[in-house]
Structure 1
Amino acid sequence: MTRSMGYTQSEGLTALRQWVVELQRRVHNPPAMGDPTHPANKDIIITSGSADALCKVLESVLSPGDNVLIENPTFPGPFKVLRPLDCNMIPVNADADGMNPENLRRALSRWSPEDAKNPTSDIPKLLYCVPTCGNPTGSCLTLTRKQEIYKLAQEYDLMILEDDPYYYLQFTEPLVPSFLSLDVDGRVMRLDSFSKVIAPGLRLGFLTGPCPMVQKILYKVMQSTSHPSGISQIFVTSVLKQWGHDGFIARSSELRRLYEDKCQQCLVYLDKHLTGLAEWTKPTGGMFIWIKILGIKDSSDVVAKVYQKGVVFITGSVFHIDSSAPSPFIRLSYILATCKEINKALSILAECLKEEV
């Protein structure tokens, strides 16, 4: 505790980093990790939450005017970084199984793989996605799709930014292998978070990626946040040492079962109240359900109306690159509400939708 109250290493406390390194070995087993002679060798640093790491990666990799491929719809966090950077966001449409590789190839069709070798080309440098239990859709990329996307990244020399805070919340086991586990080239930057398995207020996450890129981001840490919170690191290190790696994985399995039960209960109430009024896809993990309201072009008025009655949904336009365009979707999160509250909330939504019709 005395040590945590002073300045600590920018890359994170040694004990916590060592614990995380072993976790990544066990869960993802990145190719060539620990081999300093291999271009796919990885380094890991502790970050002030995965959102801070996301910001630092984007600022380190991109320049004003760069083209960036972004899963659509997706978590709006990168929009807030890319717009001030004046980067051009190119949507890659997703479906119930996550980002579609054919849509990615279509988005890349204006360039050729040879353009990646031309420093004056505007070919995208980076692909951003939330591959597991996506926010807002709840979809998970299959291993087959990940392999196809990775091959396209090799073909067009793309870096993949794998923003994966919900990885341990997949409802099925074994867990789908990550992009990191496929990375033989050193082109994957992976973001993990302690927010979803311990507590978001800790503001701790960890970044895994090719050594040169991680070192570059570490320089930004040194002159910005300086280092992650020492007190949070001491707390998390103590908890993780007590659990051990097997205990951490067991704890994650408990959370998955808890969230899956909650999701199933929510789906029952969706069938009860919204059949004929909306469509939705059963999530394969995580915290969210993506709902399409039938018969309307824009969900904003409906979201505002139910908010006046004490219910909060997020309008779908927030999760699209063009947030000004109308969207018939809303995002629901079933984690914090009780079953009684979910039932009531969806009945209120149904009443408002019937009034709209």
Structure 2
Amino acid sequence: MKFASRMDRIKASEIRELLKLTQRPEIISFAGGLPAPELFPIKAMQKALNDTMEKQGAQALQYGPTEGYDPLRKQIVELMKSTEIEAKYEDILVTNGSQQGLDFSGRVFLNEGDYVITESPSYLGALSAFKAYECNFLDVETDDDGMKMDKLEATIKAHGDRVKMIYVIPDFQNPSGKTWSLERRKQLLEIAKKYDLPIVEDNPYGMLRFEGKILPSIYSMDTDGRVIFLGTFSKILIPGFRLGWVCASPEILQKFILCKQGADLQAGTINQIAASNLMDEFDIYEHVENLKVVYKKRRDAMLAAMDTYFPEGVTYTRPAGGLFTWVVVPETIDTKALGMKAIENLVAFVPGGSFFPNGGNERCMRMNYSMMNEEKIEEGIKRLGELIKNEL
């Protein structure tokens, strides 16, 4: 059987493959990017589902509009407003997770051989989504304030009009946990406007800020409709519903709607109505505040354990929100090999090499703190610290 040549570029996610190895309950896993299941609003969700079937059963089981369930789209606008982002519900397309928004971004903007600019490192799921469109990647160096703008502009100039899109996660980035400064956000918009490039702003963690003030999204500062904002309920409510959204200018959104019609017609009606009904009766903002309290404690526990158990020469980010910290070890250590030894010692992390679209850096690891309680975090970091010391 002959497959399309594009399939040669698409590989199994190393993270997904790793997660298969970490399913054993005795493993302390820092590998996934998963929300804590004990914080899911199960009873409230059960009531919302029951109410949906009792009161709107026929509607919930029927097809719906491609753009999404209108009450949910309006609630998404209010959610965005809570992080100081003004939007209109007509500019919202409900998707099957924000991952689908990434796929559509590639479908709308990329031809074979085109270039996507990403941060270095960047989200593996986005890289996988874009690869299906036979593109190439230009990863731009970052520092604690975000992408380096001199490097970005030099990269665009070097590759000309084959550069078609810039993809960024400016708030609590996956995998690094870093947050862009306001100045870098403004500079990115200026450069994108200068070279007439769209920006895909991926924002799955924006509501999970533990400390510091909210920074304006790139979308909120956009004056000429070039930013595509991707949001999701997966990190603030429940991932199993696979509900996300795209917010964009009418010109761009219409292209995404056409993609949605070709892909799956619409997001599941019952999921959309149940999520909307849940938010009618359940205070999602209070729920998010509770998530932030728990995740902050777990972040603090992880950083404190790293301070205690990691040897000199190991560095790590101190995120102000989100789900991840990023660890860099001395050059003599290969984190891919270290990762297999870690699993043998019943602790897991994601080696960092997968997050670099053009390969290379094997000195890094992504660490998730949302899934494990404080006691397990300390024990897992202690084990990992011993393994690192043994490699030096």
Q: What TM-score, normalized to structure 2?
A: 0.81
Is 1:78 aligned with 2:126?
A: yes
Structure 1 counterpart of 2:365: 330
Contact 2:108 2:255 in 1 (8 A): yes
Further displaced range: 184-193 or 86-95: 86-95
Further displaced range: 341-350 or 129-138: 341-350
1:195 Cα deviation after fit = 0.4
Q: Secondary structure at the match of 2:305?
A: helix
1:344 Cα deviation after fit = 1.5
Structure 1 counterpart of 2:67: 11
Alpha-carbon distance change, 26 to 171 in structure 1, aligned in 2, over 3 angstroms: closer
Is 1:61 aligned with 2:109?
A: yes
Between the aligned partners of 2:265 and 2:193, the Cα distance in structure 1 is: 34
Structure 1 counterpart of 2:376: 341
Between the aligned partners of 2:323 and 2:76, the Cα distance in structure 1 is: 24
Structure 2 counterpart of 1:272: 308
Alpha-carbon distance change, 237 to 271 in structure 1, aligned in 2, over 3 angstroms: same
Specify the code of the residue in structure 2 equivalent to 1:218: I
Between the aligned partners of 1:6 and 1:173, the Cα distance in structure 2 is: 44
Specify the code of the residue in structure 2 equivalent to 1:13: Y
Between the aligned partners of 1:354 and 1:173, the Cα distance in structure 2 is: 34
Contact 1:277 1:353 in 2 (8 A): no
Alpha-carbon distance change, 326 to 155 in structure 1, aligned in 2, over 3 angstroms: closer
Contact 2:139 2:358 in 1 (8 A): no
Contact 1:168 1:253 in 2 (8 A): no
Which residue among 141, 158, 174 is the counterpart of 2:213?
A: 174
Specify the code of the residue in structure 2 equivalent to 1:210: S
Post-superposition Cα deviations, 1:12-62, rounded to whole Å, max 9, x if no partner, equal 1111112223433554444xx56xxxxxx9711111100011101211111
Between the aligned partners of 1:97 and 1:304, the Cα distance in structure 2 is: 32
Identity within the alignment, %: 28
Specify the code of the residue in structure 2 equivalent to 1:296: T
Between the aligned partners of 1:27 and 1:300, the Cα distance in structure 2 is: 37
Post-superposition Cα deviations, 1:167-188, rounded to whole Å, max 9, x if no partner, equal 1012224311101110100000
Is 1:240 aligned with 2:240?
A: no
Structure 2 counterpart of 1:214: 253
Number of aligned residue pairs: give it: 336
Alpha-carbon distance change, 341 to 22 in structure 1, aligned in 2, over 3 angstroms: closer
Between the aligned partners of 1:43 and 1:105, the Cα distance in structure 2 is: 30
Between the aligned partners of 1:263 and 1:317, the Cα distance in structure 2 is: 23
Structure 2 counterpart of 1:188: 227
1:89 Cα deviation after fit = 0.7
1:85 Cα deviation after fit = 1.9
Structure 2 counterpart of 1:300: 336
Between the aligned partners of 1:340 and 1:24, the Cα distance in structure 2 is: 34
Alpha-carbon distance change, 153 to 326 in structure 1, aligned in 2, over 3 angstroms: closer
Alpha-carbon distance change, 305 to 208 in structure 1, aligned in 2, over 3 angstroms: same
Q: Secondary structure at the match of 2:266?
A: coil
**Structure 2 portions without partners, runs of 5+:** 1-52
Between the aligned partners of 1:198 and 1:20, the Cα distance in structure 2 is: 13
Contact 2:120 2:140 in 1 (8 A): yes
**Structure 1 portions without partners, runs of 5+:** 35-40, 116-120
1:254 Cα deviation after fit = 2.9
Between the aligned partners of 1:174 and 1:329, the Cα distance in structure 2 is: 29
Between the aligned partners of 1:213 and 1:279, the Cα distance in structure 2 is: 41
Between the aligned partners of 2:201 and 2:305, the Cα distance in structure 1 is: 33
Specify the code of the residue in structure 2 equivalent to 1:84: A
Specify the code of the residue in structure 2 equivalent to 1:70: T
Which residue among 178, 181, 184 is the counterpart of 1:145?
A: 184
1:326 Cα deviation after fit = 4.2
Structure 1 counterpart of 2:390: 355
Greater relative contact order structure (CA < 8 Å, 6+ sep): 2
Which residue among 160, 174, 177 is the counterpart of 1:135?
A: 174
Between the aligned partners of 2:130 and 2:264, the Cα distance in structure 1 is: 20
Structure 2 counterpart of 1:101: 149
Q: Secondary structure at the match of 2:347?
A: coil
The structure 1 segments of at least 4 consecutive aligned residues displaced by more than 4 Å after TM superposition are none
Between the aligned partners of 1:205 and 1:178, the Cα distance in structure 2 is: 17
Aligned CA RMSD, in angstroms, stands at 1.9
Further displaced range: 15-24 or 297-306: 15-24
Q: Secondary structure at the match of 1:109?
A: helix
Between the aligned partners of 1:43 and 1:182, the Cα distance in structure 2 is: 16
Between the aligned partners of 2:80 and 2:325, the Cα distance in structure 1 is: 29
Contact 2:85 2:217 in 1 (8 A): no
Q: What TM-score, normalized to structure 1?
A: 0.89
Is 1:319 aligned with 2:355?
A: yes
Specify the code of the residue in structure 1 equivalent to 2:80: Q
Q: 1:30-69 residue pairs with structure 2 within 5 A?
A: 30=86, 43-69=91-117
Contact 1:278 1:294 in 2 (8 A): yes
1:267 Cα deviation after fit = 0.8
Between the aligned partners of 1:182 and 1:332, the Cα distance in structure 2 is: 31
Which residue among 128, 137, 140 is the counterpart of 1:89?
A: 137
